[in-house]
Structures are given as C-alpha cells and as structure tokens.
Chain A
C-alpha cells in the first residue's frame, strides 16, 4: 500500500468514518424502504466494519487470514443482507477516493493512487462474493441430498404387499430413483403387489404419467402387479383430457381401496379381533 494513502487515511480517519457512515446510512434507508423484510442494522457492526477496513490498510490483508470470513459469518448470522457488505466496501472506496481527489492535484499521481485503491479493495470484494456463493452452493447441495433422501421409499406393509408413497414434483432425477427403488424393493421384499400412491403429487402431466407407466410396466415384467392409487378427481380429469391411457394396470381412488384389492390378489384377509 502506498505510504501516501496510508498516511492520508490515518490522518483523516475521523472524516472518513463520518463520510462512510453517512453513505452506509443512506444505503440502509434505501434498503429498509424497498425491502419487504426489515433488517436489524446496528451501529456496533458498522464500527467493526470500519475498524476492519482501517486495519486492512494499516497492517495486513484481511481477506487472507480469516478476519474477513469471521466478520462475514457474523454479519450473515445477525441476518444482515450481503448487499450491506458490498455497499459498505463500495462506500469505503468512494469516500477514500473523494479525499484523494481533494488532496492530490497531480493527475498522473492521482491515477496511480486510484489503481492502488482498486488493488486494495478488490481482493476483499472478491472474497465476500466467493464466500457468499460458497455458502449458497453448500445450502443448495445439502437441500438436494435431503430431498433425495425423502424421495421415494418403498415400504413393505403386509406379506407380499408394499407401498410407495410419492410426494412432491417428479423430475427426471426422481423418476429414475423411483424406478430403481421400486424394482429393487419388489425383489427384496418379494412383493406381489405394489401400490404407488400419488396423492401428494401436485401435477400429473405426460412426463409424470409416462414415468409411472414405465415403472408399472417394469414391475409387471418382474411378475408382480402395480396398482396406482390416490388419484384425485381433478387429476383424473386432466389425465383423460391429456389422452393418457392408464388401462394397462389397475387404478384405485384411495390407498385404502387399493389395499383391499391387494389383499384380495394375495389371498389375505384382515380379521378383526372382536
């Protein structure tokens, strides 16, 4: 860092702080006015933020030793938006540049100082963006695995009867998983009848229907029967409008009716113990 800048920043620390806070507060007002959710900004964080920037100028690169990461975590933890950090950094750049323009009149030197400031601020900005995108990527991948885990379990209920409840939208990845779990489960539990329950599937379009038909067909090849249950009236109507032929395998409106049918097929009976 150019000595001139360090010296100037230190001499004018209070003016810089005032100007910076003014800019940051302006941003906060705008943010609070425009956003639906309100953030709890506090002055302590502002002070810390500024001290950190001063430290960055005077002593060491805070994007490398974890100081920045720590602060970043703290900011997100208190529920402040990412834009608070980026705007704060940009505000710092503005106030320091303003001060430089006032003190340094030589154009070439000024340009050099500009570049110096850029070199100084860019790594922190990069780090902030990197950090936040990493956090998002991590969250998304965690949610993805969580989603896959509850994706398509096959549950053995009675002897030779299993149920696969499907909940939520079905995309290509899930469809593959459904097929795999279904076929593996049929072998593992020696299921003669499998009930696929689509009560929790919001939309049955041609793709979803196609996947279900394929799965049922594959189950049939293994010598078992697949019963589609949980067809809501509105879904039944859309399936008919779409012209999808589901006559190849039995369907029932509810899981209960399907289960009665399954017990019949496997020659079992539920006897109440009265």
Chain B
C-alpha cells in the first residue's frame, strides 16, 4: 500500500482539492470523524502556508504501514523562501502575515508526529503523520 498522491498548490482552490484528497484517503483508511477533521485541517494549514509564503508547492499524502501499524503521512514541499526562525514559527501566536499564528503549532498538535526542515532560499519540507488507533 504505497500509493502516494500529490496535489500541486498554486491557488486557493488547490487547497480545497488537497483537503478533499486527504479526507478521502483518511476515510478509506478507516479514520474516525474527528481524526478526519484533524487531518483535513492540518492539510488545509500546510497548503495555505505554501500558497501564502512560497507561492507554489505540493502536498503529498500517503498511507503508511509500519509493522502493522497503519497511518497517514502528509508531506508539504515547496521551493519558497524557507523559514529563518523555525523555533519562533513553532510558537503560538507568531505570525508574519497578520494571521492568528496558530498554523504550524496547531498542525503539530493535530497530528501525532511532526517534522520540519527548512533552508533559507531553498525551500521547506514539512512532514506530519497520524496513526490509526
């Protein structure tokens, strides 16, 4: 089961399609209502970050299976400006765009695993996993 699906994010409508893809895959894997909402919200945040800060990038969603433990991984990739201060970005309430500043720390709380790698002027890769209980 390693079918990976990706959605290119270039405008606001792509955020909706990324979300729909995530919701469908989560449903197929057997996630409950609440976890489906968590996953779609996390995808929404990550996709919106790509749209807002990098302009374009992609969201990849794949089912994972580690020793019988099933889950869903979201990977957000972009070649945007990168994040200078990752520590700050992960703080609640820090924003450079006038938003709530809850996006990335929120995603971390919504999902079970979270990792972020970013190089200034090269791009950002964020990966987040939710395990099926």
Interface of A toward B, CB cutoff 8 Å: 169, 171-172, 202-207, 209-210, 213, 233-235, 237-238, 241-244
Contact = CB atoms under 8 A, between A and B. Distances in A.
B37 A205 contact: no
Nearest to A205: B44
Contacts of B33: 233-234
B45 interface: yes
B58 interface: no
B102 A238 contact: no
B117 interface: no
A265 B53 CA distance: 43
B79 interface: no
Given A205-B103, A234-B38, A237-B34, 18 more contacts: A171-B12, A172-B12, A202-B19, A203-B37, A203-B41, A206-B106, A207-B48, A207-B99, A210-B99, A213-B100, A233-B33, A233-B34, A234-B34, A234-B37, A235-B37, A243-B92, A243-B106, A244-B106
A262 B73 CA distance: 43
Given A171-B12, A172-B12, A210-B100, A205 B41 contact: yes
A244 B37 contact: no
B82 to A, nearest CB: 21
Interface in B48-95: 48, 92
Interface in B1-54: 12-13, 15-16, 19, 33-34, 36-38, 40-41, 44-45, 48
Contacts of A204: 41
A95 B45 CA distance: 54
Given A169-B16, A209-B100, A210-B99, A237 B44 contact: no
A174 to B, nearest CB: 10
A238 B110 contact: yes
A207 B41 CA distance: 10
B123 interface: no
Contact of B100 (A172, A206, A234, A241): A206
Nearest to A213: B100
B87 to A, nearest CB: 17
A203 B38 contact: no
A201 to B, nearest CB: 11
B62 to A, nearest CB: 20
A241 B92 CA distance: 12
Given A172-B12, A241-B109, A243-B109, A203 B102 contact: no
The 7 closest A-B pairs by CB, nearest first: A242-B106, A234-B37, A205-B44, A234-B34, A171-B12, A241-B109, A238-B41
A244 B102 contact: yes
